[in-house]
Structure 1
Amino acid sequence: MGLKSTLPSLIFGNNEAVYHSDSKIYSHQIAKVVPSLQQFSALGNPKNFESKTFFLKLNQLRLIASVATPVFVDTTDFKEINLMIPFVGDNDTLLDAKVYHWQQNGYAILMPNIARSGTSSTRSLLTVDLNPQIIFQTAVSMLGFQNVTMNDLRLYEPRLIPLTYGDISFDLMVRKLCHYIDFVRTTPDMLENLRIDEQFYRLIVMMLIPHKFFTNLTPQTITHYDGRSIVQTLMDYVHETDYQFRTIGDLERFTGLSTRSLQIAFQKQLGITPTQWLRKQNFLNAKRMFETGQGVSVTQVAIECGYTNFSLFAKYYKELFDELPSQTLKNIRRN
């Protein structure tokens, strides 16, 4: 590798990584490993292309540390489910006709085994190939059968994964595990004794369903909106992370805005108040609990949603879904 390289370091394996400065040669080599690859090309001047890659397999866990200058990638349906964690750079990825923006100190991305394409700036990534069965077994061992289902993990749904949740930094935890790998990876016995693969799977489970572990925390405050409106950012966050905002205070902490500013933003984009939006999200969650079997009775779901006045819960539910919650539960049990 030339002395003028400006690539960031890999998260582990930097000194033994495979280096490339020809994007066409690199593309051909990737195609041998990823048959679904349709296009891989350097952005900007191809003469400035550089990349480094290091592969590591720990029992049933496959990790790929990589860095590259700006690129465009296009693939058909992928074989693996990937979790991609960025340490440097910004990325835009098209999955199921929706563009996901993910970046360092912000979001990782869960990519199911579907077609994907996208661009990136100069970046450093860790790609983890996920085994759904091992992820589920790990989640069950951590939470118990009664507290988690495969649907909770949403492994087959493309979405952003926050790298910070409340005061919890998943980014820092991943970096520490990668540091351990770099420190002991030339000593297989130590890698085995540290059970790095098990630690990775346990951490990934917490990243996928943080609300199951950190019930008293709210997500990190978002102080920029990547060109989207404040309200759209909130809606995207709820869709992509399954987080439930409960109060106006939650919205204030997340956006850094006052109640008045939130009222103006919601009225302008949706024609409703923040309180009305929160109520709707709460009842959408209630219906989801019925549909996924997490709510065995109307009373249980009402309490979970913060309602001890069950008549009021039923009233609001019917206004939104045109049927009583008891009817929803009856229809689901019938089917």
Structure 2
Amino acid sequence: MAINEKPDTLPPLVFGDARTPVSNDISEYVQRVARVLTGLEYYECLGSPTQFQSKSFAVDINGLRLVANANTPVTAKVGDSSDTTLMVPFQGRNISTVGPAALDWDANESAVLIPCVAREGHCTTRSNLNIDIDPRRLRRTAAAMLGREPDRVIDLGIDRPRRVALNQGPVSFTRLLSHYCGAIDALLEAPAALDASGIDEAIYRTLAMMFRPDLFIVEAVPSLRDRSGKEGAIDRLCEALRTSLDQRHTLTDLEERSGYSARNLQYLFRKRFGLSPLEWLREQRLQAARQRLLAGDYTTLGGLAYACGFTTASQFSTAYKTRFGETPGRRPGQRHRIKPCGDARLAAVDSPSRVLRSEGLAPTRESSPRVKNQESGERARRPLPGG
């Protein structure tokens, strides 16, 4: 494939574009690339250096490193590296040469996987997303998605350089990754929220589907009959979650604890509780927080929020008000009706007057009639001053 060395208009980054100025200094850009790309030997612009333009932005989400970069045509060489990298093009054309093989990868068609090997490459004006993969975490995620033991070996084909299709039937991985990048962009000002968002987990799940679409898109999920030897797994999972509400739990964690795949977990939880697993977990967090609020068993709302697994006090307050119709700062002990959640029928709490009346303590119309003047039958009135 011939590469057009004429620079076009620099495309935007997939995230961080508004926060990143355009650089025309190839030397400065090479230094930035070398900080995130181990083994870089050279990086040169194609065409006139005066026309070179580039931008790059990197984020780390719970150990998952993502680099968005855009540049006019360049050529580069990388020696042996410790990184396994998936390079996803969002705009432009690329060629990577690994040994005798030349891998071309174009936007909306294919990405390229480079596992810890030397390579050379060149490109047109482009915008890419580079994903540094932890092979162990990826295999663990794939095993959990399939409902298999974490240490069971699953061949994901990540030990050799290859092209990876960006479309599998109705599934567009470009659109999925673009969606995640948009979410990252929206959370760049809130690093704690970015770490708590689960975007890293979603990306690893997407990578598993990209590398083995035959397992996750074509092949049917194992039948529930295959899981008959794990009776009580859901009960044990629920109990474990109730005793660790202060911890972060992902869908992969739930899969590993229960031995069920994500799809089977969704089915079993909705059948039993009327909620998805993560909806059920949030309900447990909110119910635990409510019990402690009513009992006065807390020091600050922020401390209570963290103890029940919420990232921030504001996140807790919003979720609590949505669930119970009031803020958690309301005076404990006030009674009100609670909205039902899913199919779990939560009875409305009786008002104080109904409780008193049911116990024979509240005044009734018969036991406390209006006082009347016995002679005239008119209502007794308090005399006015001087009357």
TM-score class, shorter-chain normalisation, is 0.5 to 0.7
Q: 1:50 to 1:125 in 2, by over 3 A?
A: same
**C-alpha separation between the residues in 2 aligned to 1:52 and 1:186?**
19
| Deviations 1:247-297 (CA, angstroms, capped at 9, x unpaired) | xxxxxxxxxxxxxxxxxxxxxxxxxxxxxxxxxxxxxxxxxxxxxxxxxxx
Q: How does 1:203-222 map to 2 (within 5 A)?
A: 203-215=206-218
Q: Select the residue among 74, 77, 87 that pairs with 1:74.
A: 77
Is 1:48 the counterpart of 2:21 in the alignment? no
| Deviations 1:162-219 (CA, angstroms, capped at 9, x unpaired) | 00001111110110111111112212343233211111111111111111012179xx
Q: Secondary structure at the match of 2:103?
A: strand
Is 1:60 the counterpart of 2:63 in the alignment? yes
Shift, 1:146, TM fit: 6.8
Q: 1:18 to 1:53 in 2, by over 3 A?
A: farther
Shift, 1:80, TM fit: 0.5
Count of residue pairs brought into register by the alignment? 214
Deviates more, 1:125-134 or 1:181-190: 181-190
The amino acid across from 1:175 in the alignment is: S
Q: How does 1:84-103 map to 2 (within 5 A)?
A: 84-103=87-106
Q: How does 1:31-46 map to 2 (within 5 A)?
A: 31-46=34-49
The amino acid across from 1:90 in the alignment is: R
Question: Which residue in the other structure is 2:264 paired with?
Answer: none
Q: How does 1:1-335 map to 2 (within 5 A)?
A: 6-17=9-20, 19-145=22-148, 150=153, 152-215=155-218
Q: Secondary structure at the match of 2:183?
A: helix
Identity of aligned residues (%): 35
Deviates more, 1:168-177 or 1:179-188: 179-188
**C-alpha separation between the residues in 2 aligned to 1:172 and 1:33?**
25
Shift, 1:35, TM fit: 4.9
Structure 2 unaligned runs (5+)? Answer: 1-7, 221-387
Shift, 1:86, TM fit: 0.4
| Deviations 1:87-108 (CA, angstroms, capped at 9, x unpaired) | 0000000013200010001001
TM-score, with length taken from structure 1 = 0.60
Shift, 1:84, TM fit: 0.6
The amino acid across from 2:65 in the alignment is: R
Question: Which residue in the other structure is 2:298 paired with?
Answer: none
Contact 1:18 1:54 in 2 (8 A): no
The amino acid across from 2:156 in the alignment is: L
Contact 1:139 1:148 in 2 (8 A): no
Question: Which residue in the other structure is 1:243 paired with?
Answer: none
Shift, 1:34, TM fit: 3.7
TM-score, with length taken from structure 2 = 0.52
Shift, 1:11, TM fit: 0.4
Shift, 1:25, TM fit: 2.8
Deviates more, 1:150-159 or 1:90-99: 150-159
**C-alpha separation between the residues in 2 aligned to 1:89 and 1:25?**
23
**C-alpha separation between the residues in 2 aligned to 1:157 and 1:105?**
22
Q: 1:59 to 1:216 in 2, by over 3 A?
A: closer
Q: Secondary structure at the match of 1:178?
A: helix
